[in-house]
Amino acid sequence: MEQHGSMYQDKMYNQIENYMTNVDEVMDLIHKYEYLFENRDGAKTFNTSYGDASLKQIHYYNMPKELTEAIFKTIPMKWTNRLNYCINKYEAGDHIPKHKDSDGAYWMFKLIFLQSDKPHFKYWDDEGNEHLVEEKAGALFNMRLGTPHAVTEIASDESPKYSICIMQGLDMNQRKVA
């Protein structure tokens, strides 16, 4: 194995089930704080082109302590500085067009599925093939940084879809913590 490659590249496009084992607790708290969700303003906050993305989020800096604690209670991940996380909520009509989150090498991106009636998370592999992910509650979806992905539109008869994004600094001396 080459030493200079990111360890995460060995696990491209894997869904790791039961990464979070207290999804029910987290979801109960999310419902308690539903009023904290705010519309994401694509133009203002996304680095990359999100087009007409539509979703709601609770960012870490607005997150109640008990919700943060529940999120980090069971996932095998330690705190570091430069940790950034948010909860995403997609209601009927919400979606994110195909995009890449960051082209920089400084951030590691983790996506944890919480709830969805149907699969909506889609990514494109190195050959440009499209894959729709069978989203499992509590699963971590591993993808290489820079992987194009999208969230397809939630239909009117579906309950909201929820997920958690965690972005972490990837300084050389911090790589082991994830």
- Does residue 94 belong to the site contacting Fe ion (CB under 5 A)? no
Residue with smaller CB distance to Fe ion, 25 or 165: 165
- Which region among 17-25, 28-36, 100-108, 137-145 touches Fe ion (by CB under 5 A)? 100-108
Tokens in use for 112? 């944890």
- CA-based nearest residue to 150, from 127, 162, 133: 133
33 vs 107, beta carbon nearer Fe ion = 107
Least distance between Fe ion and beta carbon 102 (Å): 9
Which helix (H) or strand (E) segment holds residue 141: the answer is strand 140-141
Q: Binding Fe ion by CB under 5 A: which of 101, 114, 167, 168?
A: 101
Contact 140, 111 (CB under 8 A): yes
Size of the site for Fe ion (CB under 5 A): 1
> What are the tokens at 32?
């308690």
Contact 23, 57 (CB under 8 A): no
CA distance 141 to 115: 13
Nearer to Fe ion, 29 or 140 (CB): 140
Instruction: Compare residues 101 and 135 and give the one whose CB is closer to Fe ion.
Output: 101
Q: Nearest residue by C-beta to Fe ion?
A: 101
Binding residues (CB under 5 A) for Fe ion: these are 101
